[in-house]
Amino acid sequence: MIENQRDISYKKWWMIGLLAALISLFFQWPSFAATSVELNNGNTFVAQIWSSDQKKVLTNQNGTLSFEDNANTTNQAWTFIYDDTKNVYSIVSKSNAYVLTVGSDIEGAKVSSAVSKQSYGQMWNVFLEDNNMFSLRPSSSLAKVLTIDNNNVLIKASQKTSQQKFKISILSTEQIAALKQASSTSTTSSSSSETTTKTDIAEKKDSNSATFTTDKTSTAKLDQTVDTTKTTTNTSSDSNKKNDASTSSGNTTSSSDSASASTTETAKVTNVDLGDSFTARIKHKASGKSVAVGDSDNVVLQSVNNYKEQGWQFKKNSDGSYTISSLSNTSKVLDVSGGSDQNGANIQIYTSNSTNAQKFYIRETSSGSGVYYLQPECSQTRVIDLAGNNTADNTNIQLYSNNNSAAQQFTIEKADASGFTTKPVVSKRQQVIDIARSQIGIREGSNNYTKYGVWYGNYVHSSIYQHAAWCAMFVSWCGNQAGLSSDVFYYHAYCPSGVSWYQSKGRWQWKGYVPKMGDIVYYDWNGDRVVDHVGLVESYSNGNITTIEGNYSDQVKRRTINYKSSSIFGYATPNY
Answer yes or no: is 238 within a domain: no
Contacts of residues 163-166 at CB distance under 8 Å and 24 or more positions apart, as own/partner, are 163/52, 164/135, 165/52, 165/129, 165/130, 165/131, 165/133, 165/134, 165/135, 166/49, 166/50, 166/51, 166/52, 166/58, 166/133, 166/134, 166/135, 166/136
Cβ atoms of 228 and 172 closer than 8 Å: yes
Task: Evaluate if residue 518 carries a pLDDT over 50.
Answer: yes
**What pLDDT band is residue 26 in, cutting at 50, 70 and 90?**
very low
Same structural domain, 21 and 112:
no
Contacts of residues 498-505 at CB distance under 8 Å and 24 or more positions apart, as own/partner, are 498/472, 498/522, 498/531, 498/534, 498/572, 499/531, 499/569, 499/570, 499/572, 502/572, 502/573, 502/574, 505/575
Answer yes or no: is 245 within a domain: no
Same structural domain, 162 and 43:
yes
Same structural domain, 272 and 137:
no
Task: Give the residue from 419, 452, 473 where a domain finishes.
Answer: 419
Q: How far apart are CA 434 and CA 440, in angstroms?
A: 10
- Output the pLDDT for position 258: 36
Cβ atoms of 574 and 475 closer than 8 Å: no
Mean of pLDDT values over 388-412: 91
Residue 361 phi, psi (nearest 5): -90, 135
3-state SS, residue 433: helix
Q: How far apart are CA 91 and CA 70, in angstroms?
A: 19
**What pLDDT band is residue 215 in, cutting at 50, 70 and 90?**
very low
- Output the pLDDT for position 238: 40
Same structural domain, 121 and 256:
no
- Poorest-confidence range of 86-100, 144-158, 177-191, 369-383? 177-191
3-state SS, residue 397: strand
Q: How many C-beta neighbours within 10 Å does residue 129 have?
A: 19
Within 8 A by CB and 6+ apart from 393, the residues are: 289, 300, 301, 302, 303
Beta strands (DSSP E) in 462-543 are: 508-510, 520-523, 533-541
Distance of CA 78 to the CA centre of its chain: 15
Q: How far apart are CA 477 and CA 465, in angstroms?
A: 13
3-state SS, residue 156: strand
CA atoms lying within 13 Å on the CB side of residue 72: 25
Ordered DSSP codes for 265-304 = HHTT-------SEEEEEEEETTT-PEEEE-GGGBEEEE--
Task: Evaluate if residue 222 carries a pLDDT over 70.
Answer: no
Task: Evaluate if residue 292 carries a pLDDT over 90.
Answer: yes
Position with higher pLDDT, 363 vs 199: 363
- Output the pLDDT for position 84: 74
Same structural domain, 175 and 78:
yes
Host domain of residue 520: 3-25+426-572
**What pLDDT band is residue 533 in, cutting at 50, 70 and 90?**
very high
Task: Evaluate if residue 261 carries a pLDDT over 50.
Answer: no
Q: What is the pLDDT of residues 428-475, one digit of tens each?
A: 999 999 999 999 999 999 998 999 999 999 888 888 899 999 999 999
| Closest by Cα among 495, 567, 559 to 528 | 567
Answer yes or no: is 244 within a domain: no
Task: Evaluate if residue 254 carries a pLDDT over 90.
Answer: no
Task: Give the residue from 222, 242, 264 where a domain finishes.
Answer: 222
Task: Evaluate if residue 60 carries a pLDDT over 70.
Answer: yes
Same structural domain, 300 and 204:
no
Most confident of 89-93, 196-200, 571-575: 571-575
In this structure, what CATH number is given to the domain that contains residue 521? 3.90.1720
Cβ atoms of 54 and 198 closer than 8 Å: yes
Q: How far apart are CA 371 and CA 359, in angstroms?
A: 19
Answer yes or no: is 397 within a domain: yes
- Output the pLDDT for position 178: 84
Mean of pLDDT values over 385-412: 91
- Using a pLDDT cut of 90, give the percent of the chain over it: 55
Ordered DSSP codes for 25-50 = HHHTGGGTSSEE--GGGG--EEEEEE
Q: How far apart are CA 5 and CA 429, in angstroms?
A: 29
Task: Evaluate if residue 306 carries a pLDDT over 90.
Answer: yes
Same structural domain, 255 and 130:
no
Please count the residues of the chain. 576
- Poorest-confidence range of 40-54, 468-482, 485-499? 40-54
In this structure, what CATH number is given to the domain that contains residue 380? 2.80.10.50
- Output the pLDDT for position 264: 36
- Output the pLDDT for position 169: 87
pLDDT, mean over the chain: 81
Q: What is the pLDDT of residues 173-189, one digit of tens each?
A: 778 888 887 653 333 33
Same structural domain, 400 and 437:
no
Same structural domain, 375 and 412:
yes
Answer yes or no: is 228 within a domain: no
Domain count, the chain: 3
Same structural domain, 143 and 183:
yes
Q: How far apart are CA 5 and CA 525, in angstroms?
A: 8
| Closest by Cα among 130, 157, 153, 128 to 141 | 157
Residue 479 phi, psi (nearest 5): -65, -40
Task: Give the residue from 362, 392, 419 where a domain finishes.
Answer: 419
| Closest by Cα among 290, 280, 381 to 322 | 280
Which stretches of 338-491 are DSSP H helices? 428-438, 451-460, 471-481
Answer yes or no: is 305 within a domain: yes
Answer yes or no: is 233 within a domain: no
Position with higher pLDDT, 16 vs 202: 16
For 112, the enclosing helix (H) or strand (E) is strand 109-114
Same structural domain, 415 and 379:
yes
Within 8 A by CB and 6+ apart from 303, the residues are: 289, 290, 393
CA atoms lying within 13 Å on the CB side of residue 141: 30
Cα distances from 345 to residues 79, 294, 382, in angstroms, run 12, 17, 10
Cβ atoms of 481 and 85 closer than 8 Å: yes
Cα distances from 186 to residues 24, 71, 179, 180, 182, in angstroms, run 52, 11, 11, 7, 9
Same structural domain, 263 and 410:
yes
Answer yes or no: is 240 within a domain: no
Cβ atoms of 34 and 502 closer than 8 Å: no
Q: What is the pLDDT of residues 329-364, one digit of tens each?
A: 999 999 999 899 988 899 999 999 999 999 999 999
